[in-house]
């Protein structure tokens, strides 16, 4: 019995040039979204840095940079990723009492 799924049988070739809309869908990257951390007036600075390290797995220097940027500018770009992962990060920051938002990245 073959271990290949039926749609991957040998000898079957795909011509993506025949279907331009299908081809563009394969080559176009998925939508990207920014995860933005906002200033937390009611939380301590080291609490924010520790939360950033726990959620994102950034090192101490990177987490402190994000913490200070959010503290002084009011917001800090944490990372850019696809929508589902961005939503996960927002939920994890919210569980720690920190405000974050998701913003779409403008396509060029």
DSSP assignment of 78-93, as one string? EEEE-HHHHHHHHHHH
pLDDT attached to residue 30 = 73
pLDDT digits (tens, 9 = 90+) for 9-68: 555 555 545 555 555 555 556 789 999 999 999 999 999 999 999 999 999 999 999 999
Residue ranges covered by each domain of the chain: 30-104
Name the pTM for this structure: 0.71
Question: Rounded to the nearest 5°, which phi and psi values hold at 34?
Answer: -90, 140
pLDDT attached to residue 55 = 97
pLDDT attached to residue 31 = 87
CB-CB neighbours of 90 under 10 Å: 21
**CATH entry 3.40.109.10 includes domain 30-104:** no
Is a pLDDT exceeding 70 seen at residue 7? Answer: no
Query: How is residue 2 written in tokens?
Result: 């073959």
Let me know: does 98 contact 67? Beta carbons within 8 Å: no
């Amino acid at each position: 019995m073959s271990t290949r799924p039926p749609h991957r049988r040998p000898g079957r070739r795909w011509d993506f040039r025949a279907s331009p809309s299908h081809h563009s869908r394969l080559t176009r990257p998925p939508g990207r979204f920014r995860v933005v951390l906002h200033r937390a007036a009611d939380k301590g600075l080291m609490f924010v840095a520790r939360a950033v390290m726990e959620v994102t797995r950034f090192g101490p220097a990177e987490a402190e940079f994000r913490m200070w940027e959010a503290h002084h500018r009011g917001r800090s770009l944490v990372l850019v990723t696809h929508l589902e992962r961005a939503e996960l990060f927002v939920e994890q920051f919210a569980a720690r009492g920190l405000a974050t938002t998701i913003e779409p990245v403008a396509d060029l």
